[in-house]
Amino acid sequence: MKPYAEMTKEELESLRAQLKAEYREYQGKGLSLNMARGKPCKEQLDLSMGMMDVLGSNDDLTCEDGTDCRNYGVLDGIKEAKELIGDMMENPIDSIIIYGNSSLNVMYDTISRSMTHGVMGSTPWCRLDKVKFLCPVPGYDRHFAITQYFGIEMVNVPMTPTGPDMDLVERLVASDEAVKGIWCVPKYSNPQGISYSDETVRRFARLKPAAKDFRIYWDNAYGVHHLYDHDQDHLIEILAECKRAGNPDLVYKFASTSKISFPGSGLAAIATSPNNMEDIKAQLAIQTIGHDKVNQLRHVRFFGDIHGLVEHMRLHADILRPKFEIVIDTLESELGGLGIGTWTTPKGGYFISFDSLDGCAKAIVTKAKKAGVVMTGAGATYPYGRDPHDSNIRIAPTYPSQEDLRVAMKIFALCVKLVSINKLLEAAAQAGSDPAPRAQ
Amino acid sequence: MKPYAEMTKEELESLRAQLKAEYREYQGKGLSLNMARGKPCKEQLDLSMGMMDVLGSNDDLTCEDGTDCRNYGVLDGIKEAKELIGDMMENPIDSIIIYGNSSLNVMYDTISRSMTHGVMGSTPWCRLDKVKFLCPVPGYDRHFAITQYFGIEMVNVPMTPTGPDMDLVERLVASDEAVKGIWCVPKYSNPQGISYSDETVRRFARLKPAAKDFRIYWDNAYGVHHLYDHDQDHLIEILAECKRAGNPDLVYKFASTSKISFPGSGLAAIATSPNNMEDIKAQLAIQTIGHDKVNQLRHVRFFGDIHGLVEHMRLHADILRPKFEIVIDTLESELGGLGIGTWTTPKGGYFISFDSLDGCAKAIVTKAKKAGVVMTGAGATYPYGRDPHDSNIRIAPTYPSQEDLRVAMKIFALCVKLVSINKLLEAAAQAGSDPAPRAQ
């Protein structure tokens, strides 16, 4: 089929009638399919059920160093958990603090602490007139929600296939003392699945911030979440690169096992420099006596070591790979060559990013919903929920079954077609000519 | 033996020589005994080992309402956990939010949120010139550490046998808009083991704060931590009393299972009014996707219901009762009638509070340490670590074995005697007369 933009008004109208009939048929089925959130599916959760057996009432819940995991104490995590998570994060154990179950909570706490107490002795942000964060877009809605909650002004930075637009990042960071941070999902980014190039990471490590309390919020949520065994993205380790660049304190690195063991019952962690660590621990010691060491021990006993964890991730990949392929294949077969959308083909992570013609995303998501397919809300991938092009849609293929996903993606593609035709016809009507708008 | 204050200089000097010899003997034994922190002992931890068996790989980790506890979601806790903790806290389930493993963390977060976002729409505390908290003394050092960390001015309020001095509380709360909160451990208080009288609770519920954003921080840490089966203190439930008094939003109530199941691996919770709840949830939804539901389910499956939990607490009591009795009996037999110290005899909780002659506490703790007995630092029970009388010492009898505790208490009593004699002789030397200072 030829690109929609090259079709005549009559061709588009005839096509629309046919697609509408298809759409109505799906609507009649009363479907309820969900591609909204990056949730693991039941089969993935089942992979970790063995974790429920590694600590029994006859087991010794004592660490190698003699710590009884059942009692109070140990602020920054038991040594064996720091080793496992350190290996996962590619950082030495003395740069790691193990937290509770949520890396989002760690990020929230990091910003909250900066608001009330500043960063390594800087003025608390709550006393400043203006605090800004750079937000590579499209990005992760829950990141943006934190900065919005604290009244931090968010500045969009466009993503490129190699990461954020680093010319812009360098300029903004160097010129504006109000810029205190940047949100990054550097590997298999949310939602595009882009991994930052070596050059991008090097430029991050070499930033020259106007603000001494500027930090990179490096949310390496998908560090070991590959889809393929050999065809994997590789990311330069940022802490080591910052140290080499003479900027050891520039970065907070976050990770968790939420999408490795059980979401909500995993381990979250931060890795950072000794100076930042000291700053954080001074606060952490006031906030808590310690996090859940029994759960730390449970994870260590279940995975054994980093090799065990990597092998476990292969099992996740076996479940997720076909789902990603269903999405990509459906997009290819249904929308390929039509000029009404582009999409990413990630090698890992939890999402695929779709870009429609300008001004179509909201309508597509609404139309899909009316046929029983729930997508992430259009705009969610932008600060304040405002996608200036109204074009980006995040596809989360992990939770539905393959069968459901096939149907959901068919419906999604159908909605893209219908909304795009409407858009093209409207544009043509306004221009008083046959449609030929720019496909992006 | 007669009161030290009635002894002559010669009698005291002779006694001191004899006690010093005893002390040196203990020193020679190279002991290492710890009565510093309120930590459960190994036997107490063993009581909950069954919790490691209730969720196995063949068990269904699904809630009654169909929620898969292994996946993301459920911000405020699974229903069955809210029911168990609600029964424990004596509050309906819709007034409960289940958090992670630490009620201290919940309190910290509550103050942190008030600093950055205020309370139900009030001015964020970080924008105010002055914020004050009332601190009943002696009290819990970790409470004071939180308020100190946030630069909140702490105002001492003396404890009485029925709770804080309510005349003073009422006056300060009603007259000073800077007073935003008060720290309370209302039942088996830390460190005195005092439970607030009915009148005290009623007066709390009827406070008329100058500040709209004043809240009572009601840390009911020892709500079910009785030592005896029938001789238990009873506390009027504060949320209900506030509601009856027309002040439904006046209180945040905190609790946890830290000293019920495993410290560090338990459940913490807040109970509060619908208005406060809305305020809290708006923040919580930004901070996290949810807390550890698997651990919530584990607690529910292990305890079954509130009766199961209460029966479990009887087993704790069986372990702790003899330890409390060792402390009280030793204090009675060693120090009774000497006029050099007073102490409390709690019916529950984790501590016994000792008051020496004025100006002796630091010296007693130091002397005990030199004989191998670690106590909570003198002054720790007061804001800023400053006990104006230098007299209060917290005794934590739960962690050591009975055998160790017997020895530790003997040494402690010995140190009290020695330091008191020194004090009395000093005072006599200064007064140029036989010693007769006031014993408190």
Q: Is the pLDDT of residue B296 over 70?
A: yes
Q: Is the pLDDT of residue A438 over 60?
A: no
- Give the span between the Cα atoms of B251 and B273, in whole angstroms: 8
- Give the span between the Cα atoms of B253 and B270, in whole angstroms: 6
- Give the span between the Cα atoms of B365 and A108, in whole angstroms: 40
Instruction: Dump pLDDT digits (tens) for A306-365.
Output: 999 999 999 999 999 999 999 999 999 999 999 999 999 999 999 999 999 999 999 999
pLDDT reported for residue A435: 56
The angle formed by the CA atoms of residues B68, B108 and B217, to the nearest 5 degrees, is 100
pLDDT reported for residue A440: 42
Helices (H), B150-197: 166-175
The angle formed by the CA atoms of residues A354, A359 and A364, to the nearest 5 degrees, is 55
Instruction: Dump pLDDT digits (tens) for B93-144.
Output: 999 999 999 999 999 999 999 999 999 999 999 999 999 999 999 999 999 9
Looking at the complex, report in whole angstroms how far the Cα of residue B106 sits from the nearest Cα belonging to chain A.
Answer: 8
Instruction: Dump pLDDT digits (tens) for A361-411.
Output: 999 999 999 999 999 999 999 999 999 999 999 999 999 999 999 999 999
Q: State the DSSP H helix or E strand holding residue A341, giving kind and residue range, or none if neither.
A: strand A341-343
Nearest CA in chain A to B145: A286
Instruction: Dump pLDDT digits (tens) for B2-51.
Output: 999 999 999 999 999 999 999 999 999 999 999 998 999 999 999 999 99
Contact call for B100 and A292, based on CB within 8 A: yes
- Give the span between the Cα atoms of B342 and B351, in whole angstroms: 14
Q: Burial of B422 by CB count in 10 Å (0-12 exposed, 13-18 middle, 19+ buried)?
A: middle
Q: What is the value of pTM for the model shown?
A: 0.96
Looking at the complex, report in whole angstroms how far the Cα of residue B395 sits from the nearest Cα belonging to chain A.
Answer: 18
Asked if B264 is an interface residue toward chain A (Cβ–Cβ < 8 A), one would say: yes
CB-based contacts of B329: which residues, under 8 Å, 6+ apart?
none
- Give the span between the Cα atoms of A73 and B240, in whole angstroms: 35
- The tokens describing A162, both together, are 């190699």
Q: State the DSSP H helix or E strand holding residue A160, giving kind and residue range, or none if neither.
A: strand A153-160
A 368-387 near B (Cβ less than 8 A): none
- The tokens describing B131, both together, are 């914020």
Share of chain A above pLDDT 70, in %: 98
Q: What is the ipTM of this complex?
A: 0.96
Asked if B53 is an interface residue toward chain A (Cβ–Cβ < 8 A), one would say: yes
Q: Which of B200, B212, B219, B196 is nearest to B249 (CA)?
A: B212
pLDDT confidence band for A437 (50 / 70 / 90): very low
Q: Which of B37, B126, B264 has its CB closest to that of A116?
A: B126
Q: Which of A52, A100, A124 has its CB closest to that of B100?
A: A100
Kindly write down the DSSP assignment for every residue of B265-282, as one continuous string: SS-EEEE--HHHHHHHHH
Do residues B213 and B180 touch, judged by C-beta distance below 8 A?
A: yes
Do residues B289 and A146 touch, judged by C-beta distance below 8 A?
A: no
**How far is residue B105 from each of residues A201, A277, A284, B154, measured CA to CA in Å?**
35, 19, 9, 20
Looking at the complex, report in whole angstroms how far the Cα of residue A101 sits from the nearest Cα belonging to chain B.
Answer: 7
Nearest CA in chain B to A287: B105
Alpha carbon of residue B211 to chain centroid: 26
